[in-house]
Chains A and B, each alone.
Chain A
Amino acid sequence: GAGVSQSPRYKVAKRGQDVALRCDPISGHVSLFWYQQALGQGPEFLTYFQNEAQLDKSGLPSDRFFAERPEGSVSTLKIQRTQQEDSAVYLCASSPPKYQETQYFGPGTRLLVL
């Protein structure tokens, strides 16, 4: 079946521009996670949804970062007034209802802020 998809795969933004990153999880997956991965580092947790409820947003680095999942499926991560330090790969992962420990990752969106 189809895996987690993310779009766009690459995004170049000018500093100060707003960006929106989309994640389509695997159908039926209840949990959805966003991570930020800097070059040469492991992913860092940003936020977690269970269905449409955002249960944990402790990892969002500033109030410029906002995530939503209004219908409990597709999720959007929005970054307002992008800064150069926002440049990273943004990873989305989902996990099924029964085996929530294992997360299935999308290919990521590579964001470059100039």
Chain B
Amino acid sequence: SQQGEEDPQALSIQEGENATMNCSYKTSINNLQWYRQNSGRGLVHLILIRSNEREKHSGRLRVTLDTSKKSSSLLITASRAADTASYFCATDPNHSNYQLIWGAGTKLIIKP
């Protein structure tokens, strides 16, 4: 069963705009991670935020985590065509052996 739910399911924006994706989850977690998946390529780890962190940055990526609402957001600033991909949040529940529980993903399309 899947723990996370991404919102929206699909997002289409113009190149240069910012893209925001949200993730909600159900159980308490050790950390939450965001991954990107391009067609034909594997999942690539983008960023990890721990349960005691509220915000994290990596290049054009900004992730927030609200454990009281069991939600996270991923912001991609100044989007590029190469950002076109599916984005997944994955949670590492407290009880797990690093087993990741995944959402269904947000499909992001960047229009040139």
6 A–B contacts, CB within 8 A, in A order: A48-B97, A91-B43, A93-B43, A101-B33, A102-B45, A103-B98
Q: Check if B44 sits within 8 Å of A105, measured CB to CB.
A: yes
CB–CB A42/B45 < 8 A: no
Contact across chains for A43 and B43 when beta carbons are under 8 A apart:
yes
Out of A42, A48, A91, A108, name the residue touching B99 (CB < 8 Å): A48
A56–B97 CB distance below 8 A: yes
Residue-wise, chain B 3-39 has the 8 Å CB interface mask toward A (1 for contact) of: 0100000000000000000000000001101010000
CB–CB A55/B104 < 8 A: no
Report whether B97 and A91 are in contact in the complex, using a CB–CB cutoff of 8 Å: no
Size category of the binding interface on chain B = 20 to 34
Point out the residues of chain B lying under 8 angstroms from A43, CB to CB: 43, 88, 100, 102
From B33, B45, B98, B104, name the one whose CB has the most chain A CB atoms within 10 angstroms. B98
Asked if A45 contacts B99 (CB within 8 A), the reply is: yes
Of all chain A residues, the one with the shortest Cβ separation from B47 is A102
Contact status A107-B42, CB under 8 Å: yes
| A101 adjacent to B30 (CB under 8 Å) | yes
Per-position 1/0 for A25-65, Cβ under 8 A of B: 00000010101000011111100101000011000000000
